[in-house]
């Protein structure tokens, strides 16, 4: 349910993301804990009832960065490694993704995409910065590296004879589990970390 955004956790508000960033600044080696505890446990300093929706777990789709931070924490607790070390050992290195990391310091300077903000018709160059919520969109990579990851999924978990996922795991990840029924948003289906858009009758996957 966490992987398919059906856990009944709500979308993380911007002010909470800012709070996560502040916690990351003071506790970088322990992130996402204790931020998750403060955010999810009643009575803690960042807790608000709005962190949960009115839906029962499994009943509805609600995109939640908090849910993926919780998954990041679970990976760390089960593996005994930091999330970035786990991804490097089990994904980046086996797939020859040499320019992928959750930290700008690990990315080659000339490979960094420059971020811009469009404001009043002008493109304003922004400084480079690390995103604290690694599992919820914090990966920095290149087009070539990302292609290795996508090829592995196209080949049922294998890239250049190196297997990182079982066939059954890839099938599980690509199975559609729910529909985004929010009429105000673009319509799409969702698997485990994958969005699926119906474009002219053809289902196209998108890494989320």
Rounded alpha-carbon distances, angstroms, from residue 50 to 3, 13, 42, 47, 62: 20, 9, 11, 9, 12
Rounded alpha-carbon distances, angstroms, from residue 158 to 91, 122, 154: 11, 43, 8
User: What is the arithmetic mean of pLDDT over 32-60?
Assistant: 87
pLDDT in tens, 111-164: 767 778 888 899 998 877 667 778 888 888 888 999 999 999 999 999 999 999
Give the DSSP letter string of 114-162.
Answer: PPEEEETTEEEE------S-GGGT--B--HHHHHHHHHHHHTTSEETTE
Rounded alpha-carbon distances, angstroms, from residue 99 to 89, 102, 134, 155, 193: 14, 10, 16, 22, 21
pLDDT in tens, 161-182: 999 999 999 999 999 888 775 5
């Amino acid at each position: 349910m966490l992987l398919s955004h059906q856990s009944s956790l709500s979308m993380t508000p911007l002010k909470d993301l800012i709070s996560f960033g502040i916690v990351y600044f003071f506790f970088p080696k322990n992130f996402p804990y204790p931020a998750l505890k403060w955010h999810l446990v009643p009575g803690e300093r960042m807790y608000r009832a709005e962190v949960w929706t009115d839906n029962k777990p499994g009943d509805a789709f609600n995109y939640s960065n908090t849910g993926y931070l919780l998954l990041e924490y679970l990976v760390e607790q089960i593996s005994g490694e930091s999330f970035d070390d786990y991804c490097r050992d089990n994904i980046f290195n086996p797939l020859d993704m040499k320019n992928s990391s959750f930290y700008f310091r690990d990315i080659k300077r000339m490979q960094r995409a420059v971020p811009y903000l469009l404001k009043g018709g002008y493109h304003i160059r922004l400084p480079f910065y690390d995103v604290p919520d690694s599992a919820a969109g914090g990966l920095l990579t290149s087009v070539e590296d990302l292609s290795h990851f996508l090829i592995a999924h196209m080949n049922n978990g294998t890239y250049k004879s190196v297997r990182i996922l079982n066939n059954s795991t890839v099938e599980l990840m690509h199975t559609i589990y729910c529909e985004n029924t929010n009429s105000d948003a673009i319509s799409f289906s969702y698997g485990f970390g994958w969005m699926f858009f119906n474009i002219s009758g053809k289902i196209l996957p998108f890494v989320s």
